[in-house]
Amino acid sequence: MEKRSLTRAEEEVMLILWEKGKGFVKDILAEMPEPKPAYNTVSTIIRILEKKGIVGYNAYGKTHEYFPLLSKEDYKKSEMDQLMGTYFENSLSNLVSFFVKDKKVNTRELDEILDIINRKSVK
């Protein structure tokens, strides 16, 4: 998949679209936290997402209903691949080691990770 990183504002819009499945600008704006951006700001962000090929739309006259063309799972995978390559030399052990050294992963969580790995290797 080609790299399609999102800005923070684009990601905020996409999180709403991934949750709702589709929506008009007013629907997306209604889901945003306070202080809400201007309607035109959200509309501009959506047009940028459309140009990036991340959002599509159905036209109803002059109104557009937007929907994701990129799944949340595909985006997460792309971002994790980027993170792993840039900061952890594509090594899961480097990633886990980073969190363990920083004490952000406790023994119970490590056991859960090992359990997930063991279940995947059995399949």
Q: What is the pLDDT along the chain (123 residues), one digit of tens a residue?
A: 345 689 999 999 999 999 999 999 999 999 999 999 999 999 999 999 999 999 999 999 999 999 999 999 999 998 888 888 999 898 888 887 887 787 677 778 888 888 888 887 665
Domain extent listing, the chain: 8-68, 72-122
**Multiple choice CATH, 8-68, 1.10.3720.10, 3.40.350.10, 2.40.50.140, 1.10.10.10:** 1.10.10.10
50 CB burial (10 A radius; 0-12, 13-18, 19+): middle
pLDDT given for residue 4 in this prediction: 65
pLDDT given for residue 1 in this prediction: 39
Q: What is the dihedral of CA 30, 7, 72, 116, to 10 degrees?
A: -120
Q: Tell me how far apart the alpha carbons of residues 46 and 103 are, in angstroms, rounded to a whole number.
A: 39
pLDDT given for residue 96 in this prediction: 78
pTM attached to this predicted model: 0.78
Return the CA Rg of the chain: 19
